[in-house]
Amino acid sequence: MIERLLPPGVTWAETFTDRECALFPAEEAAIAQAVEKRRREFTTGRWCARQALAALGLPATPIVPGERGAPGWPPGVAGAITHCPGYRAAAAGRTPDVVSVGIDAETHAPLPDGVLDLVSLPAERAWIATAPPGTHWDRLLFSAKESVYKAWFPLARRWLGFEEAALTFSPDGRFSAEILVDGPVSSFSGRWLTADGLVLTAVTVPA
């Protein structure tokens, strides 16, 4: 499904079940204290990442969580990983053609009570209140902001708050994000879909 959101030149892999994948020692060390659920999502994320790298013609390398949890892709690669119940995916592209990638998957269900107010701007809430039925726009907004953050962080190396990006959606599966603080990128373009009980979003920053 994720390929529908990604441009040519960005490779991807997704799975709906957990996968076995030999971890490099540095990856093992990163999850040495992790509970089983975290081990499984981390390992399957690496399985996806290895596939995405292989599709770029690159060998498996350790992809270790670094600063603020950002995955350490090999030099010359921009990529992203996501996992949610029943779904895991990775996407990757070669720099400089692809400068940054963000992908996110969520269960397609309303956000828990009170969360929308924490992750949205007044204008976003006003739009959601009148948006076409059939889509949990609150969850979609959340996912899109997670994708924006995953693409933003490797470029900016700093936090971006939910109130620091203003998102607008079109029902045809596109969205845009205006970044409200100074930084290396002032806007992002993304795509979204809902299918099989999931919300998927992706942002790609081209050269």
Ligand X SMILES: CC(C)(COP(=O)(O)OP(=O)(O)OC[C@H]1O[C@@H](n2cnc3c(N)ncnc32)[C@H](O)[C@@H]1OP(=O)(O)O)[C@@H](O)C(=O)NCCC(=O)NCCS
Report, in Å, the least distance between residue 135 CB and ligand X.
18
Which residue, judged by CB position, is nearest to ligand X in the bound state? Answer: 69
Among 14, 124, 138, 146, binds ligand X (CB under 6 A): 146
Interface with ligand X includes 192 (CB under 6 A)?
A: no
Q: Which is nearest to 49 in space by CA: 91, 96, 2? A: 91
Return left, alpha or beta for 33; rule: phi > 0 is left, psi -120 to 50 is alpha, else beta: alpha
Site string for ligand X, 50-69 (x = CB under 6 A): ---------------x--xx
Q: Pick the closer one to ligand X by CB: 70 or 99.
A: 70
CA distances from 157 to 66, 95, 128, 160, 188 (A): 11, 17, 30, 9, 16
Q: Does 148 bind ligand X (CB under 6 A)?
A: yes
Give the span between the Cα atoms of 198 and 200, in whole angstroms: 6
Structure tokens at 175: 């969205």
Between 11 and 82, name the residue whose CB sits nearer to ligand X: 82
Q: Distance (Å, rounded) from C-alpha 115 to C-alpha 129?
A: 15
- Does position 166 bind ligand X by CB under 6 A? no
Q: Which residues bind ligand X (CB under 6 A)?
A: 42, 45, 65, 68-71, 81-83, 104, 145-146, 148-150, 153, 160, 162, 165
